[in-house]
Structure 1
Amino acid sequence: MLTSNNASDSSNNNNSLNTFSLLSIYAKVTFNGSNFNDWMHNIRMALRLEDKEYVLNKELNEIDESKDTPDEIAEYRAHCKDVTKVSYIMVATMTPELQLFYEDYWPYETCKELMEKYHQRSLQERYKIVNSLIITKMKDGESVTTHLQRNVDRLQKLNVNFDEELVIDIVLHSLPSFYDQFKLTYHLKKKEVTLSQLQGLLRTAESGLKTKGI
Structure 2
Amino acid sequence: MANKNLSLRSLLEKEKLNGINFLDWFRNLRIVLKQERKEYVIEELVPDQPAANAPRADKDKFKKHMDDMLDVSCLMLATMSPELQKQHEDMNAYDMIQNLKEIYEGQARQERYETSKALFQCKMSEGSPVGAHVIKMMGYIQTLDKLGFSVKDELATDVILQSLPDSFKPFVLNFNMNEINKTLPQLLGMLRTAESDLKKNGSKSILLIHEAKGKKKAKYKGNGKSKPKGKDALKPKKGISKEAKCFYCEKSGHWKRNCPLYLDEVKKSKANGASSSGINVIDDNI
Q: Tell me whether the two structures share a fold, i.e. TM-score over 0.5.
A: yes
> Partner of 2:124 in structure 1?
138
> Partner of 2:152 in structure 1?
164
> Partner of 1:125 in structure 2?
111
- What letter matches 1:49 in structure 2? Q
Distance 1:192 1:33, change over 3 A: same
Distance 1:73 1:31 in 2: 34
1:27: how far off?
1.4
1:114: how far off?
1.9
C-alpha RMSD of matched pairs (Å): 3.0
> Partner of 2:74 in structure 1?
88
- Residue by residue, what CA displacement relative to the aligned partner does 1:47-76 show, whole Å, maximum 9, x if unpaired? 333333333323232252644572x55444
Distance 1:33 1:101 in 2: 12
> Partner of 2:167 in structure 1?
178
1:39: how far off?
1.6
1:98: how far off?
0.2
1:157: how far off?
4.2
- What letter matches 2:170 in structure 1? Q
CA contact (8 A) 1:30 1:95 kept: yes
Distance 1:76 1:198, change over 3 A: farther
- What letter matches 2:183 in structure 1? T
Distance 1:29 1:85 in 2: 20
Q: How many residues were matched structurally? A: 199
CA contact (8 A) 1:52 1:82 kept: yes
Alignment of 1:60 onto 2:49: no
Higher helix proportion = 1
Distance 2:44 2:157 in 1: 29
Distance 2:125 2:32 in 1: 31
1:90: how far off?
1.6
1:79: how far off?
3.1
- Residue by residue, what CA displacement relative to the aligned partner does 1:15-62 show, whole Å, maximum 9, x if unpaired? 2x3243123212133211222212212222333333333333232322
Larger relative contact order, structure 1 or 2 (CA cutoff 8 Å, min sep 6): 1
Aligned pairs for 1:6-85 within 5 A: 15=2, 17-64=3-50, 66-67=53-54, 70=57, 72-85=58-71
SS at match of 2:172: helix
Distance 2:56 2:186 in 1: 41
> Partner of 1:147 in structure 2?
133
> Partner of 1:5 in structure 2?
none
Distance 1:122 1:69, change over 3 A: same
- Residue by residue, what CA displacement relative to the aligned partner does 1:83-132 show, whole Å, maximum 9, x if unpaired? 22222222211110101111232332222222222222221221122112
- What letter matches 1:125 in structure 2? E
CA contact (8 A) 1:29 1:38 kept: no
CA contact (8 A) 2:126 2:167 kept: no
Distance 2:161 2:63 in 1: 46
Identity across aligned pairs (percent)?
35
1:139: how far off?
5.3
